Amino acid sequence: MVSYDPRRLVGTLVEETSLLARGAESELRLGRFYGRKAVFKLRLPKPYMDPALDSKLRRVRTIREAKVIAAALEGGVPAPRLYMVLPSAGLIVMEYVEGPQLKEVLWRGSLDPGRAGYEAGVILGRLHSLGIVHGDPTTSNYIVSGRGLILIDYGLSEFSTSIEDRAVDVHLFKRAVESTHAGIVGELYGGFLDGYRESMGDPARGVLERVEEIELRGRYVEERRKSVWRM
């Protein structure tokens, strides 16, 4: 049986870190793990939930995210390397990926949009081939690092091979491109589609057909997401 109190362990591990960002779901802290720069992603207790429900959700979500990252890495998707997982504490320790967001690099114009899009498409296609959907594949979640583009933040990821879920991912990327990179939509999204088709193979066609359907269907859903996420 476990002979330590996980919260105390997390306490000593997390102590030396500094806050990078706080989202709705978790805190991201930057620290060191056995000498390496590391990100500590800590799902915080929610004060409004029954403690039993809260700890169950944190445990389940932490395990799911860690499994997704492990499966992605194993399948050759450039993702942050996993260092440690402590489900009962809601903690994942992973590699700190150094580099600017793809979004910023494109704004600066220091990367060819067609090439960048192509690489981003190859990565998402590979992830989908592994039976994983990302959930938030925007140009903010691709990091331009020393070892190429790296896709981060698997907090909303799921194991899924459904055409709908895959199409939503592609659609999310397209929408992010349209709202954040209006001047280079053609090159960036065009390159993305080439890369996605190449790494996905035949299944890509069904997914891309569904993307068009999503755009035509329920215009209000389209409108609402665009409007809120753009902020």
User: Which one of residues 48, 108, 146, 202 is an interface residue with other proteins (CB under 8 A)?
Assistant: 48
User: Which one of residues 12, 18, 146, 220 is an interface residue with other proteins (CB under 8 A)?
Assistant: 220
Show the CA angle centred on residue 101, arms to residues 106 and 99, nearest 5°.
115
Helices (H), the chain: 6-14, 51-74, 102-108, 113-129, 163-180, 185-200, 203-216, 219-229
When asked if residue 46 is in the footprint of other proteins (CB under 8 A), the reply is: yes
Q: Are 17 and 33 in contact (CB under 8 A)?
A: no
When asked if residue 146 is in the footprint of other proteins (CB under 8 A), the reply is: no
CB of 187 to other proteins, least distance (A): 28
When asked if residue 23 is in the footprint of other proteins (CB under 8 A), the reply is: yes
Q: Which of 178, 160, 181 is nearest to 169 (CA)?
A: 160
Burial of 25 (0-12, 13-18, 19+ CB in 10 A): middle
When asked if residue 182 is in the footprint of other proteins (CB under 8 A), the reply is: no
CA distance linking residue 165 with residue 185, whole number of Å: 23
Is residue 136 flagged as an active site residue?
Answer: yes
Which token pair is 162?
């459904």
Span interacting with other proteins, options 19-27, 66-74, 174-182, 193-201, rule CB under 8 A: 19-27
When asked if residue 159 is in the footprint of other proteins (CB under 8 A), the reply is: no
User: Which one of residues 1, 3, 47, 216 is an interface residue with other proteins (CB under 8 A)?
Assistant: 47
Catalytic (active-site) positions: 136
Question: What residues make contact with other proteins under the rule CB under 8 A?
Answer: 23-25, 46-50, 52-53, 56-57, 135, 156, 220, 223-225, 227-229, 231
